[in-house]
Amino acid sequence: MRLSSFHASVHMKGEKTMPRRPNIPCKHPGCNRLIPAGSKYCEEHTMQHRSYARTTKEKGYDGRWRKARARYLKAHPLCVKCVAKGKYQKAAVVDHIVPHRGNKKLFWDESNWQALCKSCHDKKTMTEDRYQEFKY
């Protein structure tokens, strides 16, 4: 990549250079190690969070799941958490009550499924299901 004569002269003379982005903390809860900007986890925690990088298909959410999900939502059209509060909100997500963490038997166990609206699902995921190690 060629720099323009202006940028090259400024850079070569050392008058002005672009500041580097500061290091940021590792995103693993409780870890305060600094890592280069653009990274997510320090070396120690990268392996623990590797499963987050997997595609939804690799986690089991494939065509078979989409069909089962559509069938379940047709049979259970309302969010169970909203109905418990006296509200009627259309369900958009089939949630695993107990996170399956890669366990195929638990993944396909319909007694472990519940219909939730997006808001309730996001709230549950960020509170009840958060920060547990995934194993696929």
Q: What confidence tens digit (pLDDT) does each residue in 35-69 have?
A: 998 888 898 888 777 766 677 787 888 999 999 99
Q: What is the pTM for the complete model shown?
A: 0.59
Please answer whether residues 78 and 111 qualify as being in contact, where contact means their C-beta atoms are separated by less than 8 angstroms.
Answer: no
Beta-carbon neighbour count of residue 81 at 10 Å?
20
pLDDT in tens, 77-103: 999 999 999 999 999 999 999 988 788
- State residue 12's pLDDT score: 53
Average pLDDT, the chain: 83
